Amino acid sequence: MATKREKKDEQILARMRDLAESVITGFREKGNPPVMIPQRSLSNSVFDEENSIIRMGDKLQERVFFHQGQAKRFMQTFLVATACKELLDVKKTTSIRDLFYMTKHTLARGENTFDDQSESDPVLEDLEVTLGALREELHLFASNKGTMVGNLTLIDSGDTIDCRSMGTGGYGIPSIVEEHVIQFKKCEADFVLIMEKDAVWRRLNEDKFWKKHNCIMMQSGGQTSRGVRRMLRRLHDEKNLPVYVLVDNDPWGFYIYSVLKFGSINLAFESERMAIPKARFLGLSSFDREKFDLPSVVTIALNKEDEKRARQIMNYPWFKDKRWQNEMKKMMDSKVKLELEALSSRGISFISEKYLPEKIMNDDYLE
């Protein structure tokens, strides 16, 4: 396997060199050589209905140096590539945060190559799609995000982790959860429950919900990271566990679910190994307010931004399913949104003792 990885490294190094050579040739001919970058945009996202995932189209975006708006990005692209090459050369892996610091320095007039990480991350994504290499193949990882507990024992870089005894904090899901890092040892769970809210996860963990209902619980702290998504997908694929998703009842919550299920526009090239078309949307549904008799005082009015986002989501081709449209319409009509915490208005453990068991037992979910 090591040789396989080394081979992959070689391959990627060669692709980087080719990319640089092509640009040098262009400059030598006094031209303005482009770097062709697959577009990471909605217009270049194709919904693969057969597999029910979002794929990246074949539209390319030209990035040239001699263009006022692109010059810096062009330089940054190669700066990041150089940093990745260094990592590959020394066979070390580091965080994208590190990458930001590796490539950040000051140019003339106090200008920095990168001002903050939000500037270097998209450049790295550009490089991933351009080279056709995954982040981990470039020896990079994101910071850990997301935690998990449940009836699972796994091996992380040789250490055995029992997710049943993780205390109140849970096991931090690493950025790279591929087989060479993490292997599943013993899995007794019946399903996986993923939620966007850490607070809800803590409540359920304290109530030992996973023990009672024999499951694995994850929280992603908002939009799911690649590590979380990949972990879910592996559990889903390898252990045949259904995945239930618990998010706020607002457009953003719906979109988190959407990403888990179909893949994201930005990382459409990763959909194939990350999307879980069979992920189940458990809640909060727009209809739960009535179903569970939640007081209207816990609702929050939709703001302009929410409505705009809702309309956008309703237009996504993968959201065209009638049930989804109904969900969204219901939310738009009622003009309110609900947070997961709203369930606590019915009692502090309402979610773990009533809401979730009822929903799961009744198969009250969308798929």
Partner 1 sequence: MSKKTMDDLFLFTAEPPAGKPAPQDPPADEDTSDVIPDADAPDRHETGSFMIAGTDNLFGELWEDAGPGDGGPSAGTDQRVPRQRPRVKAEEFATQQREISISEFFAKNKQLLGFDSAARALMTTVKEAVDNSLDACEDAGILPTLIVEIVNLEDNRMCVIVQDNGPGIVREQIPKIFAQLLYGSKFHRLRQSRGQQGIGISAAGMYGQLTTGKPMRITSRIGERHPAHYFELMMDLKKNRARIVKDMIVDWDVGHGTRVEIELEAQYKSGRQSLDEYLAQTAVANPHTEIFYTNPRGEKLHFPRVAMDLPRQPEEIRPHPHGVELGMLIKMLRESPHRRVSASLQHEFSRVTPRIAEEICQLAGVPITRNPQKLTGDEIQALYKAIPQVKILAPPATAVVPIGEELLRRGLARQIRGAEFYVSRSRNPRVYRGNPFLVEVAIAYGGELQGLVDHGDPGDIAVAGVSLDQEKTVASALLDLPGFTRKKVAECLEKSGISPRKRVKSLEFSEIAQLRSAYDTYARQEADTTSAQIIRLANRVPLLYQLKACAISKAIMDMNWRRYGVTQPRGGFPQGPLVIMVHFASVWVPFTSESKEAVAHYEEILEEIRLALQDCARELSGWLARKVKIKANRERKSLFQRYIPDLARSLAVLTGGKAKDLDGMIQEALEEYAEQVALPEMVDLEAERVPVNAFDGDGDGDDDNDDDNDDGDDDSDSDSGDDV
**Shortest spacing between CB 35 and partner 1, in angstroms:** 11
Site residues for partner 1, 14-53, by CB under 8 A, read: 16-17, 19-21, 23-24, 26-28, 30-32
**Contact status: 354 vs partner 1 (CB under 8 A):** no
Nearest residue (CB) to partner 1, 79 versus 173: 79
Q: Catalytic residue at 257?
A: no
Q: What angle do CA 137, 138, 142 make, to 5 degrees?
A: 95
**Contact status: 92 vs partner 1 (CB under 8 A):** no
**Contact status: 304 vs partner 1 (CB under 8 A):** no
> Could you give the maximum distance between any two Cα atoms of the chain, in Å?
72
Structure tokens at 207: 């109530």
Pick the catalytic residue: 101, 257, 355, 365? 101
Amino acid symbol at 160: T
**Contact status: 72 vs partner 1 (CB under 8 A):** yes
Stretch that binds partner 1, among 71-79, 182-190, 243-251, 334-342 (CB under 8 A): 71-79
Q: Which of 35, 40, 36 is nearest to 60 (CA)?
A: 36
**Contact status: 276 vs partner 1 (CB under 8 A):** no
CA distance 336 to 294: 13
**Shortest spacing between CB 75 and partner 1, in angstroms:** 4
Can you state the angle between helices 251-262 and 322-334, rounded to 10 degrees?
160
Contacts of 244 (CB under 8 A, 6+ apart): 191, 192, 193, 194, 279, 280, 282, 360, 365
Q: Is the dihedral of CA 308, 313, 316, 322 positive or negative?
A: negative
Stretch that binds partner 1, among 64-72, 153-161, 179-187, 308-316 (CB under 8 A): 64-72
Can you state the angle between helices 117-131 and 71-90, rounded to 10 degrees?
70
**Shortest spacing between CB 105 and partner 1, in angstroms:** 8
**Shortest spacing between CB 129 and partner 1, in angstroms:** 18
Q: Which of 110, 89, 84, 115 is nearest to 99 (CA)?
A: 84
Structure tokens at 248: 């706020």
Give the one residue of 47, 78, 319, 324 binding partner 1; rule: CB under 8 A. 78
**Shortest spacing between CB 224 and partner 1, in angstroms:** 33
**Contact status: 90 vs partner 1 (CB under 8 A):** no
Give the one residue of 12, 53, 54, 79 binding partner 1; rule: CB under 8 A. 79
Nearest residue (CB) to partner 1, 79 versus 274: 79
CA distance 193 to 283: 11
Q: What angle do CA 57, 59, 61 make, to 5 degrees?
A: 135
Size of the site for partner 1 (CB under 8 A): 31
Per CB under 8 A, residues contacting partner 1 are 16-17, 19-21, 23-24, 26-28, 30-32, 65-66, 68, 71-72, 74-75, 78-79, 81-82, 85-86, 107-109, 111, 113
Q: Which residues are catalytic?
A: 101
